[in-house]
Structure 1
Amino acid sequence: MWLIGSKTPKGDGYLRATSPNERRCVARESLGFYHALIVGGIYQFSEPVELASISTYVHALRQCVRHHPQLCCTVAEPGTQSPYYKACACLDLSRHVQILPQRDGRHGVQSVEEALPVMLDSMGPPHIPAWKITVIPFSQQRCFLGFSFSHSLGDGMSGIAFHRTFLDALQETGVERELIWTPNLQQLDPPFDTSTNLPISWSFLLRPLLGVILPKRVASLLGFGITAPAGIWTASKMFYNPEKHQTCVKVLSIDAATVKEALKVCRAHQGKLTGLLHQLIINSLSEAFAHRDDLDHLAARTALNMRGPVGKSNDEMGNFITAVTQFHAIKKLAGSDIVQEVDWESVQAVTERLAAAAKELRDQPLGLLRYLSDVRSWVSSQLGEPRDCSYEVSNLVSFQPARPTSRCAVTEMIFCQPADVLGAPLNFNVVSVANGPLSIAVSWQAGALALASEEDEDDFVERICQGIRSGFGQLVSRAPG
C-alpha cells in the first residue's frame, strides 16, 4: 500500500515524529533484525590516568550530550507504525558506561576483535537513550573506547562526530563528577529523508510499482524492471532465528605506511581508496569462488554520506546515508591462479560513479519509503526473500581531531555494524586515522554465508581478509620507488 504520512501523539517530552527511514531503523531493531553499531578508538593519554574509573569520562560525556541532542532522547512506541522521539528528562551516565577488565593491547584494534560481537549484539533498556561507551584499558595511559549506539539515533559518521566531541573534551581538565543530571531540553533537527531533500519524480515513483505488477518480460521491455546480470552471489535468503542470531566479526588492520603508499598510487590512477577497496574485495571473492561455475557477478553496495549536499556538517549526528549498487564480473581463474592485478579502469569508474551519486538528491530509492503506509510490516515481510546485494562497503574515511591534541590522542579507529538480517551477506566497515592505520571490520550474520558450518564461514572470511591484505602488499611492492 502507498500512503504519505503517519500519526504521532504529542505529550510530555515529545520531540518529533520519526521519518520513514528512521522508522525503518526502529522497526528492524524492535524486531531483533539489527542491534547496535559501534565506532571505537584507541585513546593514548600523555600521562597516567584512572582509565578504569567512570569519573575519568564524565565531563567528556556531558559535553557530548550537550552537543548532540540525539544522546538524550528515546524512541517511544517502537513496536507501532508511528514511533516518535521523546526527550529523556533525566540522564544517569552510569547506565551508559561499561568498563571491562584490562587486556593486552599490543595489536591495537585487533586486540578487541573478540569483544566486538557482544558490544554489537547488546541493546540497553528501551526507556533510556540507546547508546553507551565501552572502555577496555590496555595500560595506565592507553585504552580502547567504543561508542555503540542505535542506528535510529545516527549513522556511522555520527560515531565519528561523537569521538571528535569526546576527544576535544578530554583535552580539558573538567571537574564534573555528577553521574545523574538533567540536560537542557534541545529540539532535534528535521530528518534527512524529507520530500524537500529527496524529491521523487513520477517516473521514478511508478517504476518499482509497475515492475511488480507487469509481467517480467513486459516490464523489462518497457524499462520498468530491475536490470541485473545473471549469476549474482547473494548467499542465503534473509532469515531470522532469535535463539541463534549473532554477529560474527573479523578485523583487518593496514599499517600507516602501506595506506599512505596506496593513496599515492590511487591518486596516480585518478582513483580513491573506496574504489581500490572494491577491487581488492572483488579479487578476493573471485579467488574464493573459483570453483563455482554458477556464479558470474557480484552486486557491490556502497554507503554514501549525504551531509554535504544538504548543507550539514560531518560533526552533526543523524541519519544522512544513502547507497548505490554497482555490478562487477567475477574474475574467472584457471586452476590455482591468484588474482593480483588491480583493474585501475574499474577503480576510476567506481570512484567517478560514487562521486556523482554522493551529490544526487533527486530520485533516491530512500525517498520511496515515505510512500509506504506501514514501514514495519514492509520490513518484516522481507524475511525469506533473496538478498539484493553481495556485499556492502561503508567507509567513514579518515578521523581527524577537532583541534590540536595535547592531553590525549586517538591513534587508531574501528567501525563495525552488527549482523544485518535484511542486509548484505558481508559488510566491510572501514575507517582510518589521519596519517595512521586503516582498519577494516568484516561483519556478517552467523549462517548468512550459506556455507556448511560457522567454522567454514569463519575460514571463508579469513581468506577474504588475507586476500585484501595481500592486495595492499602487492600494490605497495610494485609501486615505483
Structure 2
Amino acid sequence: MTTSVSKLEVLRPVGYLERYTTARNHLGFYTNVAVTATYMLPAAYSRPLRDYVYKACETLIGKHPNLSAIPIGEDTRVPYFARLPAVNLDQCVLFQEWKTAADSESGFERQAELDSILEVQHNWPFKGSTAPFWRLCIVTDSGNPCVFTASFIFHHSVADGGSGAAFHRMFLDALKDMAASTLTSDDVKSVIPSPNTPLLPNVEELHPMPYSMSFAIHLYLKDRFGETREPNLWAGAKITAPLENRVRHVVISKQHTIVFAELCRKNRTTVTAALQTVIAAALFRNLPAKFTKLNCDGAISNRRWLRGNAVTDDSIGNWVQDFQEKYKRQNFYKQTKKGDNNDVEFSWTEAQRSRRTIERILNSGGKNSRMYLLKYVRNFQKEFFLPKIGKNRASSFEVSNLGVFRLYQPQENGRSDGTEREVEVPRISRVIFTQSANVTGAALETSAVTGPDGCLVLGFSWQKGVIEEELVAAVIDTVAKELATFGEKQ
C-alpha cells in the first residue's frame, strides 16, 4: 500500500515535545522505543498465530488513532501529523523463529539472542516512508507454538514507554476476547482501515508548563554557550554521530526482585531512586578514581498532571518529562573512606536523597523541566541538536522505570514461564523495556520494568564508541550482582 503524502489527511501540528523527537529522528540521533512481552496462549487457540496477532492489532488500531498517524516534514520547522488511510499489517508485523533452544534453567542463550534482535530493531529507524511509525516483531518457537515473544517498537513522537506497556495490556485483552468467539480466516484482515477519531492533544495543550525565570536563564546560557564540563565528571565521550546502538538486558529473579522492593520500603526509598543509586555506585566502582561526579537523567510520566480526562494510563501518545540528579563518589565510600574503588558501595542514604528529589518534582507538579522551554526553540536541528556535536556530554546515565506492569485483571493458572502447566486464557509473563541511545543525551541508558512473572528487567543501551564495551560489561555485571545479593547483606 503506497499513498502520496500530499493526499493524507492532516490531523494536527506536531507539539514541541513531539517536535524534539521528530527532529532527532530525522538526524539519526535517536531511533525508537520498545516494550517486549512474552505471551502464552491456551492450546485451544489452534489457528495460525498470525491470525490472532492480526486480529488483536485490528482491535488496537481501531481504538488508538496514533497507530495510524505518522509525522510529516520531520526535516522542517513545522512538522505535522497525518493519517494513513489504512494500516497494512504485512508492512509492520514481522515474524521470525528463535535460532537458539530454550534453556529452562537460565535462559541466557535466549537472552543473548533477544539482545541481538532488539539491537537490530533499535538500529532500524522510522523515516522516509508512509508506512506506520511502529512495528510488532513476533519471535516464535517451533517446539512450543503456544508461546511467543512480541516486541512493540515505535517512534517516540507516536508513543512513550507507558504507551508501550498499555499496548501490551490491550493486546492481551484483545487476545482474551477471542476466546469467547470462533475465529475464522474470513475474520482476519491484513489491511485495517484507520479510525476517524482525532489525535489526543499534545502535552503542551494539557499542562501549564510551569518554570521559574532563573531556571530559564540558566538553561538558555547553557545551550547558548555550550556545556561546561564539570571537573571530575564522567559522562562518556564527547557528543558524536552517527548512532550505532548497542543493547543488552538483565533479568533479576522474582525472589531477588521481591527482596529489593521490600528493602526499598524498609529503607524509606523507592525502587526507581534505589536503581539510580545502584547504577551510580556501579559506575564509580568501575571508573578511575579521578571521576568523582555523575549526572543522572530521570523520566517521569506527565499523565498525572494533565487537564481533563482525555489522557489515561491506557492512552497511546507522548506525555513525559525529565528531571536531574547528581551523585558524588565521596558519598559512596565505606566507613574507612580511603578513596579506593574497593571502598565504593551502595548507599541507602543516597537512595533516600534521590527519593526526596523525585518527591520534590512530583509535589511541584513537574515545575522546571527542561522540556517546558522547547517552545522557544525555532529550529531544532540547527539550533538544538547539530551545535552539540563535538561538545561535552552533560549526562552520565539515565534511568527510566515503567514500574510494575499492571494487568486489568488477575491472570489465571500456569507458571510465570508458561512451561509447566496449561493456561486457560492468554497470559503475559516477562516484560522488557528498552530504548535507543541518545546521541546528545546520557552516555548510558537504563530502562526498567517489572513484569507479571515478578522479575525486574533492566534494559541497557549505549552508543557504540561513547563508552568502552569493557566498562559497560563491568557496570552491568556489578549492577546485576548488587541486586542479586541485597538479601545476603541484610
TM-score range relative to shorter protein: 0.7 to 0.9
User: In structure 2, which of residues 117, 123, 126 is the aligned counterpart of residue 121 of structure 1?
Assistant: 123
Distance in 2 (CA, whole Å) between partners of 1:212 and 1:144 is 42
1:60 Cα deviation after fit: 0.8
Cα separation, partners in 2 of 1:111 and 1:255, compared to 1, 3 Å: farther
Q: Deviations over 1:74-125 (max 9, x none)?
A: 1111211111000111211111100012343431655511211101111355
Tell me what 2:403 maps to. 397
Within 5 Å, give how 1:449-460 maps onto structure 2.
Answer: 449=467, 457-460=468-471
- SS for the counterpart of 1:373 is coil
**Could you say which residue in structure 2 is the equivalent of 1:136?**
139
Aligned AA (1:464): V
Tell me if 1:234 matches 2:235. Answer: yes
Alignment of 1:352-367 (within 5 A): 352-359=356-363, 360-367=365-372
Deviation at 1:448, TM superposition (A): 0.9
Conservation of the 8 A alpha-carbon contact between 2:42 and 2:425: yes
1:475 partnered with 2:486: yes
Residue 348 of structure 1 is matched in structure 2 by 352
The structural deviation recorded for 1:197 is: 2.6
Q: Please state whether the residue corresponding to 2:204 is helix, strand or coil.
A: coil
Q: Which amino acid aligns with 2:202?
A: P
2:442 paired with 1:441: no
How far does residue 468 in structure 1 lie from its aligned partner after superposition? 1.0
Quote the Cα distance in structure 2 between the aligned partners of 1:209 and 1:32: 25
Once the two structures are superposed, what CA deviation does each residue of 1:254-274 show, in whole Å capped at 9, x if it has no partner?
A: 011111111111111111111
Change (3 A) 1:228 1:326: farther
Alpha-carbon contact 1:27-1:376 (below 8 Å) kept: yes
Which deviates the most, 378-387 or 10-19?
10-19
Structure 1 moving runs of 4+ over 6 Å: 225-228
Aligned to 1:286: 284
> In 1, distance between residues paired with 2:69 and 2:20?
18
Q: Aligned partners of 1:439, 1:48: CA distance in 2, in Å?
A: 30
Gaps of 5+ in 1: 1-8, 217-224, 450-456
3-state DSSP of counterpart to 1:100: strand
Rounded Cα–Cα distance in structure 2 between residues aligned with 1:181 and 1:469? 43
Give the match's secondary structure for 1:171. helix
Cα distance in 1 for partners of 2:56, 2:44 equals: 17
Whole-Å separation in 2 of the counterparts to 1:285 and 1:12: 48
| Structure 2 counterpart of 1:424, from 442, 449, 457 | 442
Task: After superposition, give the CA deviation of every residue in 1:384-437 in whole Å (9 maximum; x if it has no partner).
Answer: 221111000011111122234442111101111113211111001111114611
Q: CA distance change for structure 1 residues 46 and 199 in 2, over 3 Å: closer, same or farther? A: same
C-alpha RMSD over aligned residues: 2.6
Is the alpha carbon distance of 1:477 and 1:212 closer, same or farther for their aligned partners in structure 2, counting shifts above 3 Å? closer
Contact 1:51 1:141 in 2 (8 A): no
Query: Any idea what the Cα deviations from partners look like across 1:34-56, whole Å, max 9, x if unmatched?
Result: 11211001112232756974222
Partners of 1:196 and 1:321 lie apart in 2 by 11
* 2-structure distance, mates of 1:374, 1:270: 44
The percentage of counterpart residues that share the same residue type is 22
TM-score normalised over the length of structure 2:
0.85
Correspondent of 1:83 among 73, 79, 83: 79
Compare 80-89 and 310-319 and name the one that shifted more. Answer: 310-319
Amino acid at match of 1:322: Q
Measure the CA separation in 2 of the matches of 1:439 and 1:322.
22
Give the TM-score, by structure 1 length: 0.87
Q: Which residue of 1 aligns with 2:198?
A: 187
Task: Tell me how far 1:374 sits from its aligned partner.
Answer: 1.4
